Chain A
Amino acid sequence: MSERRTALACLIPLLLVGAVFFYGFLLWTGWLSLTRSSLLPSNEFVGLKQYERLLLDPRWQAALWNLLRFGLGFVLLPLLIGLGLALLLDQKLRGEGALRWVWLHPMALSMVVTGSAWRWLMDPEQGLAEGVRSLGWTSFRWDWLAQEDMAVYALVVAAVWQISGFVMAIFLAGLRGIDESMLQAARLDGAQGWKLLRRVILPQLGPSLFSALLVLLPAAIKTFDLVVVLTEGGPGQASELPAFYMFQMAFERSRLGLGAASAMVLVMMVLSIVLPYAVVRSRKGVA
């Protein structure tokens, strides 16, 4: 019994601290979103005014639409690329270790470094485009950073580059976890190449897909540093994402209440993805 007590004595205080720092602060932010806070927090209650302001702000609406476009690319592309790379790596090539490191290394970088590197690369006058032009294709242009419709996709490029390695690692783990005997049986049945992939391998990767989605979706919603460094939300406000909007409003623009409201909406968006998953898992008694 004393073993159990020691165990719980370790756990409980930490959980209490966690409850305060995660959820207590969340409640505080929620409270802030109901006040008139501008430069610093204030306690003047204004009801849902900040949310009203938020929903009516064309910049917020644009940020949400941008998030949709960004999210689509940020989720689908790494899944495809990650799967492809994992399948490639699973072929027992020589130099697997080096390859894996190269494919994985973008994950090691901070968003700031990633954003800076891609900003240089995507510079309309001096980046990769200039390199292509100097090779002979003189009319080539890559002006995404300057185009209001394409700037979001510039974000997608950099973000996909950074995260694909991680998704690859997840899929690789899934591939390595597939029962060898199942593969043998299928091969004996005459399945190979694409058929093997489609009929046997892919279905087994369900849990990996799930894990990848669980990582990708909230990450998309939380993307902030990249926007600051790569596009500054520009040109104009064409590549702003909700987390960027939240930060700008709360800190740069002295509109803490509005920033808090947008933060709460962001959190609700993240929770709406994760909550169903969490509830199901805790029902299963696993989580």
Chain B
Amino acid sequence: MKRLTLYLLAMLAALVIALPLLLMLMNSFKGMAEAQQGFLTLPREPSFAAWRLAWEKLHGSFGISLMLAVPAVLLSALLAAVNGFVLCKYRFRGERWVGLLLVLAFFLPIKVYLLPLAITMARLGLDRSLGLLIAIHVIYSLPLALFFRNHFLAFPDELLQAARLDGAGFWRLLWRVVLPLSRPIFVVVLILQFTTIWNEYLFGLVFGPEDARPITAALAQLSAQTETGARAYPLEMAAALLAAAPTLVVYLLAGRHFTRGLVAGAVKG
């Protein structure tokens, strides 16, 4: 009996939480005119028209976003792992200060840096490009090193010593010992970074290439580009779901690792 109530509670919670997306999904299968009547009715004549149109408009930026997110996420995670390791295991002067500044940096709102970034771009003579955007994302992911640092603190040094005795230099050490052991945290960082970068709008608009905008900007453009005055809700919903699909899939496939990684101490008090 108690189990039953638990299951019921769980299902109820799931339904309530899933409601917004379910409604969006349902409405994305409606015809444009039907959607004007209200959001809560089932589609009378379900059609894929909105989805086809959304794909047509967005598939280009889909690719752009992928080309942006994959390198940026991998690079930032790798860098964070390396930096976290170094911060943890090698002593140097002022490392306490560095730790402090990194923690603080983690919480700074980076939108305020939009204008100084633009000026720096000018001083360095850089052009808007995907590479620039990736670089910016990587730089601002520096504080992620803290995740790895926390994790590595628990490592016994003996593992490293053993590898050193075998003649491993810094890179070998990293590749053979450190990275494999940091897998749970790595996954957490990958997931969080992918979500952040995939969903990011402003920097993509300002620093990304002119004619090849990431999907967030394309989505905004789509919402504003109405043919008639009335909003084309099915199209907007299909487009929003399309844009959200990759991150949703990531959480589906790697959700378990996400929680496991958190257990491993990614976010510890």
Contact = CB atoms under 8 A, between A and B. Distances in A.
A91 B243 CA distance: 34
A126 to B, nearest CB: 5
A102 B17 contact: yes
Interface string A4-30: 101110110011011101111110110
Contacts of B251: 101, 104-105, 107-108
Given A105-B251, A207-B269, A270-B109, A161 B7 contact: no
Given A3-B173, A112-B201, A278 B104 contact: yes
Q: Is the interface of A mostly helix, strand, loop or mixed?
A: helix
B101 interface: yes
A173 B268 CA distance: 10
Give chain A's interface residue range (CB within 8 Å of chain B). Answer: 35 or more
Contacts of A184: none
Contacts, number: 241
Contact of B112 (A88, A246, A277): A246
| Chain A to chain B: the 3 pairs with minimum beta-carbon distance, closest first | A207-B269, A110-B199, A131-B40
B9 A88 contact: yes
Contact of A25 (B7, B113, B243, B258): B113
B67 interface: no
B165 interface: no
Contacts of A150: none
A120 interface: yes
A267 interface: yes
Interface of B: 6-7, 9-10, 13-14, 17-21, 23-24, 27, 38-40, 79, 82-83, 85-87, 89-90, 92, 96, 98-109, 111-113, 115-117, 119, 139-140, 142, 146, 149-150, 153, 164, 169-171, 173, 195, 198-201, 216, 219-220, 223, 233, 236, 240, 243-244, 247-248, 250-252, 255-256, 258-259, 262-263, 267-269
B98 to A, nearest CB: 6
A8 B90 contact: yes
Contact of A6 (B117, B170, B256): B170
A245 B131 CA distance: 31
5 contacts: A14-B142, A41-B115, A130-B38, A173-B259, A271-B107
B6 A93 contact: yes
Contact of A117 (B20, B40, B115, B219): B20
B111 A22 contact: no
A97 interface: yes
B156 to A, nearest CB: 16
A7 B90 CA distance: 8
A108 B267 contact: no
B82 A99 contact: no
A266 B216 contact: no
A195 B197 CA distance: 43
